[in-house]
Structure 1
C-alpha cells in the first residue's frame, strides 16, 4: 500500500534535500591574512557573500574574523595554529579557548570544524617539534566541545600533509610511513570515535614540480584526456585516494571522510606557475569537487574542498610561489573568471 504524504510535507522534504545538496557541494576558500595590503575583515566577508562563497577556513587571529562573520551564514573552519598546541594540553586552557571562540559565537556564526594544528608531522622539520602536543590538544578541545553539548554541531579535527605517506602511487599501495604510524593512528582513531573527518592538504602543484618528468602538467591540471596506468584521471584524485588507502591500512575498515582543507595553484614564482595554469586548475577543481563523481575509492559524492587561498599574501615566507596562491587580488577583483 502506498504511503500518503501531505503535499506540504513532500515539498518540505524536497526543500531539505535541495539544501543538503547545496551544503555538500559548496566550495570553500581559505582566508589568510599574511599580507600588508589586504582589505578589512568586514570587506572580506562581504566579498565572500557577493561571490556566493559559502565556506571559509580562517587562520589566526580568528578573534578578528569571528565578529565579522556574525549572521553571514558562511560555514567556517576555525584554525588553531601549531604555536598554541602546547598550551591546549592544559584542559582549562582548552575550555577557555572553546568558550571564547566557539560557545560565544556559535549561535550567530556557522562553525563547522575546529582544525587543531596544521601539517604537524614527525618527519617534517618545520613542524616536528609540535608532535608531542597535537593529540593532547585534540583530545582536550574535543572534550570541551562535548562538555558544551556541541559535539554533533562542531567537529574537531586536524589537517595533515601527504609527506606522512611512504608511498602514494599507485594509490591502492599507499600507506603511512612506519616512522609516522605511531603518531597518526591514535589521531585517526580519535576522529573515528567522534565521527569527525580528517582534513588533508592536497596540492597537485607540488606533486607536479616534485617530479615533472613523470607527472605531466595535464595530469595535474585535470586536462589529461586518458587515465594514467593506475586508472586515475587526474593527480588530485590519486593523491586524495592515497590518503584514504593509508587510513584503511592503519585502522581497518572505516567510514572516515576526508575534507580537502587546502588545494591551490600559484600564478607566478616557479615552474608551471602561470595565470593560465592556475585558472585552469581552480576551474576544473571546482567542477570536479561539486560533481557527484567522487574518486575511484570513494565514488558517488561531492568532495568537500577549500581553495587556497582568497588573496595573494605578500608577507608569506618560503618559495616565491607562496605569495601567489590567491584567487582574488588584494583590491578585491578576481584574478580568474571563477564561478563559485
Structure 2
C-alpha cells in the first residue's frame, strides 16, 4: 500500500499514539520525537519513565502520558516518600519543558493481581507528590481493560464483574473528586477473535452498514458505552473516559492483516472526532497502539505486529490524518 504522512490538525487533537519500546531495532528517542513532530502527532503515551525521551521531548509541545511501572506500585503505595522521589526524579526536572498530561499508576491491573491492592494508594501518593511540587495540573489515573466487565451487551446494561466492582469503586472514589479521567484500553480486535460467531468483522472494522438491534453501528462505540454504563452503576456519572490504547495487528493471527489493520486505524481516526450513542458530544481522546512493531514483545504473535510504523520509520499503512 502507498504510505502517506500523518498530520494531526487542531481539529483532530483527540489523537495520540502509544510509544512502546520492547524492540531491539527501533529508532532512537530523538528520531521518534522528530517523527511525531514532523507528522503533527501531538500526544504520546509511554509505559515507564525514560530520561532520554524526556530530554528529546523538551520544547516539542507533545502532550505526554507516563505510566508508573507495575514493579514500582508497591513501594509508591506504601511510602509517600517513594512517591515524592518518583515525581522528583521523573517529572519535576522536566515539567518546565515537557507537557505531562496524565500519570498512570499501572496498566491493565486486574483485581486478582497482587498489584491491585496498591493502585488506589499509589494514585493518592502520586497525586499528593505532584501537588507538593506545584504540579497539580497533571492528572493521575490508571488504565484498565474490558476484562473487568461482567456484562457488556447491550451496552446500556454494561456492568463490572462482581470481582472487579470493589476494585473499580476505589478507583472511582479517587478519580471523581480529583477531576481525573479513567483510562481504558479498547480493542475490538480481541473481542472479534474471541466471538467470531456473533461479531461480524465489518462491525469490528467500522465498515458495517446500518445499526444492529441495539442501535450500534460499530463495536468500538459499543465497548466504550458499555464501560460508561458500568461506571454509572457504581457512582461514576460524569467521569470521562480516555481511550488509552486501541489498535489492530497486521499479522500473526485470525483477522490480522495489512488490509484489516489499515482499515481499522483509518476508520478509528475518522470516527473519534465524534461521539458515541451514549456520549454523542465528541471528540473521544484516543491513543493508537502503537508507534512501532515491537519485535521482542512477549505473548501471542499478534503482539509484535501492532505498529503503524516500521522500524525504518516508514508508514505501514496509507493513513490520512487530515
TM-score of Structure 1 vs Structure 2, range by shorter chain: over 0.9
Question: What's the secondary structure of 1:277's corresponding residue?
Answer: helix
Which residue of 96, 99, 106 corresponds with 1:117?
A: 106
Per the alignment, residue 286 of structure 1 pairs with: 269
> Structure 1 residue 99: deviation in Å?
1.4
Per the alignment, residue 234 of structure 2 pairs with: 250
Which residue of 55, 67, 90 corresponds with 1:79?
A: 67
Which residue of 169, 174, 195 corresponds with 1:211?
A: 195
Structure 1 residues 24, 189: closer, same or farther in 2, change over 3 A?
farther
Per the alignment, residue 9 of structure 1 pairs with: none
Contact kept, 8 Å, 2:150 with 2:161, in 1: the verdict is yes
Distance between the aligned counterparts of 2:10 and 2:17, measured in 1?
A: 16
Per the alignment, residue 224 of structure 1 pairs with: 208
Distance between the aligned counterparts of 1:227 and 1:243, measured in 2?
A: 19
Question: What's the secondary structure of 1:104's corresponding residue?
Answer: helix
Q: TM-score, normalised by structure 2?
A: 0.94
Contact kept, 8 Å, 2:57 with 2:98, in 1: the verdict is yes
Per the alignment, residue 81 of structure 2 pairs with: 92
Contact kept, 8 Å, 1:26 with 1:53, in 2: the verdict is no
Q: Which has the larger radius of gyration?
A: 1
Which residue of 58, 74, 83 corresponds with 1:70?
A: 58
Contact kept, 8 Å, 2:17 with 2:288, in 1: the verdict is yes
Contact kept, 8 Å, 2:181 with 2:241, in 1: the verdict is yes
Per the alignment, residue 311 of structure 1 pairs with: 292
Question: What's the secondary structure of 1:86's corresponding residue?
Answer: helix
Question: What's the secondary structure of 1:200's corresponding residue?
Answer: strand
> Structure 1 residue 81: deviation in Å?
1.4
Which residue of 31, 37, 53 corresponds with 2:41?
A: 53
> Structure 1 residue 134: deviation in Å?
1.0
Per the alignment, residue 241 of structure 1 pairs with: 225
Per the alignment, residue 124 of structure 2 pairs with: 139
> Structure 1 residue 61: deviation in Å?
4.2
Question: What's the secondary structure of 1:65's corresponding residue?
Answer: helix
Consecutive unaligned residues in structure 2, runs of 5 or more: 1-8
Could you list the per-position Cα deviations for residues 158-202 of structure 1 after superposition, in whole angstroms to 9, with x for gaps in the alignment? 000101111011111111111111111011120011000000000
Distance between the aligned counterparts of 1:62 and 1:189, measured in 2?
A: 30
Q: Is 2:96 aligned against 1:107?
A: yes
Contact kept, 8 Å, 2:65 with 2:104, in 1: the verdict is yes
> Structure 1 residue 23: deviation in Å?
7.2
Contact kept, 8 Å, 1:25 with 1:303, in 2: the verdict is no
Q: Is 2:115 aligned against 1:130?
A: yes
Question: What's the secondary structure of 2:45's corresponding residue?
Answer: strand
Q: Which moved more, 1:293-302 or 1:191-200?
A: 293-302
Distance between the aligned counterparts of 2:72 and 2:307, measured in 1?
A: 26
Per the alignment, residue 18 of structure 1 pairs with: none
Which residue of 169, 172, 190 corresponds with 2:174?
A: 190
Per the alignment, residue 321 of structure 1 pairs with: 302
Contact kept, 8 Å, 2:225 with 2:278, in 1: the verdict is yes
Question: What's the secondary structure of 1:107's corresponding residue?
Answer: coil
> Structure 1 residue 310: deviation in Å?
0.2
Contact kept, 8 Å, 1:313 with 1:323, in 2: the verdict is yes
Q: Number of matched residues?
A: 312
Distance between the aligned counterparts of 2:91 and 2:239, measured in 1?
A: 24
Per the alignment, residue 155 of structure 2 pairs with: 171
> Structure 1 residue 24: deviation in Å?
6.8
Q: TM-score, normalised by structure 1?
A: 0.90
Consecutive unaligned residues in structure 1, runs of 5 or more: 1-20
Contact kept, 8 Å, 1:120 with 1:131, in 2: the verdict is yes
Which residue of 104, 118, 133 corresponds with 1:148?
A: 133
Q: Is 2:254 aligned against 1:265?
A: no
Q: Which moved more, 1:142-151 or 1:189-198?
A: 142-151
Distance between the aligned counterparts of 1:24 and 1:38, measured in 2?
A: 27
Per the alignment, residue 312 of structure 2 pairs with: 331
Distance between the aligned counterparts of 2:50 and 2:76, measured in 1?
A: 16
